[in-house]
Each structure stands twice: as C-alpha cells, then as structure tokens.
Amino acid sequence: MTTAISPYDTGRRSLARRASSLPGAVTIMGTLLAIMWVLEVIDQLTHNSLDALGIRTRDVGDLWSIFTAPFVHFGWGHLEANSLPFLVLGVVVLLGGLWRWITATAIPTLTSGLSAWLLSAPHTITAGASGLIFGWLTYVLARGIFSRSWRHILVGLAVLVIYGGVLWGMLPQNPGISWQAHLGGAVGGVLAAWLVEARSRRRVV
C-alpha cells in the first residue's frame, strides 16, 4: 500500500529543511535578535514604556506577558549580555530541526515565565531572554543523554565548555537577576529534550 503525500506536507517539510540549514537558522535567529534590538530602541525612545511587557509577579491578568517578556530588556547592557548566547544557542538548537526548536523554545519560555511569575518577590517585573537561553542550554546538554547519540553528546560538551559557567545563574546570588526565571527555563529545557527524544524513539520503533 502506498501513501500519498500532499503538496502541503511537501511544502512543510521543505520549509523545515530550509529553516534547519545553517543559513536558514542564522537568518531566523538573526531576525529574532534584530526584533529585540528594535524593541529596545523603541523602549529607550519612549522612556522604558515597553518594560510593561515584562512579567508581574502573581498578577493573573498579566500571565500573557510570559510570551512577550523574552523580547524586552532593561537597557542596552542587559540586551548585549543576552544577544550572543541567544544567537549561538538558538542556531545550535535549530540545526537539530525546526519542530524540535519550536518545542525547545515553547516549553522553556512557559516554565521560565511561570517560575518568574510565581516565585519572584512581590511587585517585581521580570523581562529578558535569559530564561529561554537557560532552556536552550540545558536542552542541548540533556539531549545527548536522552538520545545516546555521540554527536549530540559532543555538541553538548562543547556548549558546556563555552557556556557552562552561566549555570550558576540558577542560584540566588545577585539582586536584580532572576534566578527564578533561569531555573524555570533550565527545567523546561530538560523536559523539552526528554519529550523530543521520547517522540523520536517512538517513531523509530
């Protein structure tokens, strides 16, 4: 028995392949990073008005900001510190496949945002891409463990050597830095790696 492949499926697979190629991954991540820089320009020109898109602690009406907070930052220094790891780790994850990247982005964004929303001190606003960055970092590290792939393990080790030091950011250390968002993102990255690899094993079987 043969299975017909619709033009929609063919187009979707072609899009996924282009997105997960190195030029495609760099283009996608570069575009997202450019959006962050444009938003910071707007934020500076409007006297930090976009800071309101951050997460307000335990404000039920503000839960939607979990999905906007990663795109806004508290000044140029904050954005500059996040830019390179955002670009590099985002590309590394995207090279593994578009749908894997979507999973590894959505879950840490949600867990990081919920952790900041629930655990941060009262009257706190949390913003920035670092929670998602922590999610991508732990996703890459855990992916090799769950997949048992030497290629994934080697990539994880390389990332650990370069960025492993930032994992200390999951601990309460410096005032003004959201360890809650970092920890939530890191947990989400491990969960995403487990889900992605579990799904891949089911397909193989």
pTM score over 0.75: yes
Q: How many domains does the chain have?
A: 1
Q: Is residue 1 part of a domain?
A: no
Q: How many other C-beta atoms are found inside a 10 Å radius of the C-beta of residue 80?
A: 12
Is residue 201 predicted with pLDDT exceeding 70? no
Q: Is residue 53 part of a domain?
A: yes
Residue 149 belongs to domain with CATH number:
1.20.1540.10
Structure tokens given for 123: 């009257």
72: containing domain: 7-204
pLDDT tens profile 138-178: 999 999 888 888 888 898 888 888 877 777 777 777 777 89
Q: What is the mean pLDDT of residues 40-66?
A: 95
Confidence (pLDDT) at 204: 45
**What one-character-per-residue DSSP string does 151-179 give?**
HHHHHHHHHHHHHGGGGGGGSS-STTS-H
pLDDT tier for residue 52 given thresholds of 50, 70 and 90 = very high
Rg (CA), the chain: 18
Q: Is residue 133 part of a domain?
A: yes
Give SS3 for 127: coil
Is residue 3 predicted with pLDDT exceeding 90? no
Confidence (pLDDT) at 12: 66
pLDDT tier for residue 72 given thresholds of 50, 70 and 90 = very high
Q: Is residue 69 part of a domain?
A: yes
Q: Is residue 134 part of a domain?
A: yes
Q: How far apart are CA 88 and CA 109, in angstroms?
A: 17
Q: Is residue 2 part of a domain?
A: no
Mean pLDDT rounded to a whole number for the chain: 88
Confidence (pLDDT) at 11: 62
